[in-house]
Structure 1
Amino acid sequence: MLYDGHCHVASTRFIPRRFLEDVARNVHRRLEARGEAPSLARIVEGYVTQHQDHLADGLVAEMDMAGVDRAVLLVPDFGLRMETPLTWEDMAREHHAIRLRHPGRFRVFMGADPRRGPEGVRAFARVIDEYGFEGLKLYPPCGFSPSDERLYPYYEICAERRLPVLVHTGPTAGSLDFAPAHPLLIDRAARLFPGVDFILGHAGLTHVDEAGALAAHRPNVYLDIGGFASTPTIDDWPGHLNRLFRLGVNHKIVFGTDWPLGRMAGGLKRLVAEVLEGGRVFAGVPARERELILHGNLRRLLPPESRPRPAPPGDGRG
């Protein structure tokens, strides 16, 4: 059984074009230094083209080919930093429709920005209860600390409903803020809300020492490995993951791909095959700990499964 704990719908309806342009600009600079770069416009267009899977049909097809049973769809709230084609409420509604379209395949962590004020808190509680979403997604690079007191009402909602919180950590789009994305910034919130489980997104890649220490000593802090195959600073990602899996915190590590970030590198099937069959990623890791990483830890963190409520008439997209 394989669960992808860090995934996105590859759609320009949910991911701002400016974000894709930022990613493309970094790729262009790297290729330009090697004398291998196509035009920036061509790279941007490539990313935009791959983000047209608005109903997640392509994602489900790739999951089927790769043997991924289920995935968590993360919905970052970029709306106060970047222009987005949909409102926050529309994105929530469309992710609910996607889940109804693909029964049993997805859980959804809905994004939030503490600067939306009390109405943002009420809206989050409303969609969690109306659609049955299973977690909170935070994107601190948009300009806030994950221990910002304005997030405490969100954490109280999650504590009451036993929902996990996934927090982006590490680098991101060049026009966003890196400083708020340090994993140690979650420490105060984790201490004040011991009943909430916090998952540090990408922390198994970019801040391994700090995140590993938090996971080892804070009972409610976990880390995921989303983006391992597309992080430009890791030349040997199978070796990196193997080292990570020998740190003694495998009961706190969640498998995730950060799909569709690595889509241009051969597809989900190739990626999963190298993890499961490559011989290096799990070399020397006991079978029981492999199972925890690949699905067991995430299943413990998620609330009990329930059927999503039907969408109101006209909500689904054909």
Structure 2
Amino acid sequence: MSVTGRILTTPALQTGPVPDTGPVRKGNRTVHRLRMVEDALQRAQALMAQWDEELRRELPQGAGIFDAHTHLGTDIDGMVGVYEDLERGMDKYGISRCFMFCLDEPDRHPGFRAGNDRTLAFAERSKGRMIPFVRLDLAEDPIGEATRILDRGGRGIKLHPRAQKFLLNDERLSPIFELAAERKVPILIHGGRGLPPIADDLARVADRYPEARLIVAHAGIADLAALADRLGGKAGVYFDTSVWSPLDLLGLYRLVGPEQVVYASDYPYGQQPASLLIALRTARLAQLDEQQVRGVLAGNANRIAGGEPPLTPSAPKGIETFQQPMSLARIHQYLSMATPLLWTRQPDRIGVLGLALNATHDRTNGHREELDQIRELLTAAQAMWLTLPDDADERDRVAHMRATFRLIHLADIVAVTTPA
């Protein structure tokens, strides 16, 4: 094992088929495949541990971390957020507190009552580290359910227009914002994929109830420019960092001040160390100073949780023009093509991961360390992808796919956030 910069590198894994040396019994082939799967998993785990160390080096000394967007429970899409996993992750990565709410649960009817009750139980179990939000369905007594949970210790409201199939011009939103303003609790609303333009309608209801703190999830990428135009500069309105693409966060920082940004993972969908690395590296590339980075990591969310007055937003600090070495731009393009294939569990018949790997051999741009880091991540990801089990338990297949994606995601973060 050799060292390149600060990330350990190892010889590339053999990912192609083993040469046929004669008749091989089916049982031996099965054993060989299982060994390939185990080797790929072990290499992926070792790389994750190395990037955990890289994250620790990049965090500001003694910085607090507050995760403004986490889920516990079981979603109808199969995703599961487990209390023990979230707690272990918070301990491991130094996350002091989080906002937490249920997923789109199989027993969500009526009105997420069962999921909200579990949220309160998780919060009590955490002894204050996990701050409970009530999730609402506008079609099933949202005010009654919000009041019930807030009276029992809930400290925020979660709304998901895509999952619960409502638009932001829905008149049923006004009483919810009015209740949030009266109780002085924040509202976190989904602002990611699967929505039409939402800025005008959301801004109208937010302007009507300025005492209601508003967190737009996923950096508001569903309507980012318009949301920033309508809500940028408004004290008490925030955008969280739970996105996949670093370009989305770079786009956010150039449009709103750092006092309007809160770190978020979207656990269990978002995972460490990529979740914190993408927030840190984009903030620094956007030229936030250390105090502003600390505000994004914890300070702004702590003010929300503590009911403190919001800071007056300063001017945006992001970069207007994004410059990138050509080889890293090519890698980002290929990884963007690979990601939907992996998410839909298709083989890489096009060979885009191989193209990204080939691009890491370009030594003309002066970023040899970063290219070596990316190559190591993608070599491990390729081995994982090739060993994606066809006949395993569904949960094991999902876990294998997600582990593969984590490697590709880290590689893409490095590709996009390496300065030109």
User: SS in structure 2 opposite 1:125?
Assistant: helix
| In structure 1, distance between residues paired with 2:86 and 2:260 | 26
Structure 1's 101 and 187: CA in aligned 2 closer, same or farther, altered over 3 A?
same
The offset of 1:215, in angstroms, is: 2.9
In structure 2, how many angstroms separate the alpha carbons of the residues matched to 1:86 and 1:98? 20
State the 1:207 CA deviation: 3.1
Q: Aligned partner of 2:219: which letter?
A: A
Is the 2:262–2:298 Cα contact (8 Å) retained in structure 1? yes
The match for 1:6 among 69, 86, 102 is: 69
Structure 1: give runs of 5+ residues left out of the alignment. Answer: 21-46, 173-177, 306-318
**In the TM superposition, what is the alpha-carbon distance from 1:242 to its structure 2 partner?**
4.1
Indicate the residue corresponding to 1:314 in structure 2: none
| 1:163–1:303 CA contact under 8 A, matched in 2 | no
Structure 1 CA distance, aligned partners of 2:168 and 2:282?
34
Q: Where do residues 112-131 of structure 1 align in structure 2 (5 Å cutoff)?
A: 112-117=136-141, 120-130=142-152
Aligned to 1:184, which of 178, 183, 200?
A: 200
**Counterpart Cα distance in 2 of 1:112 and 1:164:** 13
User: How far 1:241 sits from its partner (Å)?
Assistant: 2.9
Counterpart position of 1:95: 119
Aligned mate of 1:256, from 264, 277, 281: 264
Aligned pair in 2 of structure 1 residues 151, 242: CA closer, same or farther (>3 Å)? Answer: closer
SS at match of 1:214: helix
Contact 1:6-1:256 within 8 A present in 2 as well: yes
CA distance in 2, matches of 1:294, 1:101: 24
In the alignment, what sits opposite 1:244? Answer: 252
C-alpha contact (below 8 Å) 1:246/1:285 kept by paired residues: no
Task: Determine the C-alpha separation between the residues in 2 that align with 1:274 and 1:153.
Answer: 36
Looking at structure 2, the residues matched to 261 and 223 of structure 1 have their Cα atoms a distance apart, in angstroms, of: 18
SS in structure 2 of the partner of residue 195 of structure 1: coil
* CA deviation string 1:131-175 (max 9, x = no partner): x11111111112212342222222222111111111111314xxx
Query: Which amino acid is 1:250 matched to?
Result: P
Give the length in aligned residue pairs.
Answer: 242
Instruction: Note closer, same or farther for the CA distance 1:245–1:252 as it changes in structure 2 (3 Å cut).
Output: same
Superimposed CA distance per residue, residues 243-291 of structure 1 (whole angstroms, 9 cap, x where no aligned partner) = 533445111111111111134xxxx245435644xx5542321112112
Matched, 1:66 2:93: yes
Q: 1:54-99: per-residue Cα shift (whole Å, max 9, x none)?
A: xx011110111112111111335x47xxx43775222121111111
Amino acid at match of 1:7: T
Instruction: Give the equivalent residue in structure 2 for 1:282.
Output: 284
* Contact kept? 1:242, 1:280, Cα under 8 Å: yes
> Which position in structure 2 is the counterpart of 1:140?
161
**Paired residue type of 2:161:** P
Question: Cα 1:221–1:171, aligned 2, differ >3 Å: closer, same or farther?
Answer: same
Runs of 4+ residues deviating >6 angstroms: none
AA aligned opposite 1:182: I
| Counterparts of 1:184 and 1:225, CA distance in 2 | 21
CA 1:269–1:103: 2 relative to 1, 3 Å: farther
Residue 107 of structure 2: which of 84, 94, 100 is its match? 84
Write the distance in 2 (CA, Å) between the matches of 1:273 and 1:203.
16
Please show how residues 42-57 of structure 1 align to structure 2 within 5 Å. Answer: 47=79, 51=80, 53=82, 56-57=83-84
AA aligned opposite 1:121: I
Q: CA RMSD in A?
A: 2.6
Change (3 A) 1:257 1:183: farther
d(CA) in 2 for partners of 1:111, 1:257: 18
Structure 1: distance between partners of 2:255 and 2:291: 15
Q: Distance in 1 between matches of 2:155 and 2:183?
A: 9
Amino acid at match of 2:289: P
| Number of the residue aligned with 1:110 | 134
Given the superposition, is the C-alpha separation of residues 140 and 270 from structure 1 closer, same or farther in structure 2, using an over 3 Å criterion? closer
Which residue number in structure 2 is paired with residue 164 of structure 1?
186
Kindly provide the CA deviation profile for residues 111-144 of structure 1, in whole angstroms up to 9, marking residues without a partner as x. Answer: 1122224xx31221021111x1111111111221
Match for residue 301 of structure 2?
A: 298
Higher Rg:
2
Mapped to 1, the partners of 2:123 and 2:155 lie a distance apart of 12
1:223 to 239, 248, 264: 239
Inter-CA distance 248–220: structure 2 relative to 1 (3 Å threshold): closer
Pair 147,286 (structure 1): closer, same or farther in 2 beyond 3 Å:
same
Deviation of 1:214 (Å): 2.6
SS in 2 for 1:140: coil
Secondary structure class of the residue paired with 1:115 = coil
Percent identical among aligned pairs is 25
2:149 is matched by which residue type in structure 1? Answer: V
Task: Measure, in 1, the Cα distance between the counterparts of 2:166 and 2:278.
Answer: 36
- Distance in 1 of aligned mates of 2:237 and 2:278: 28
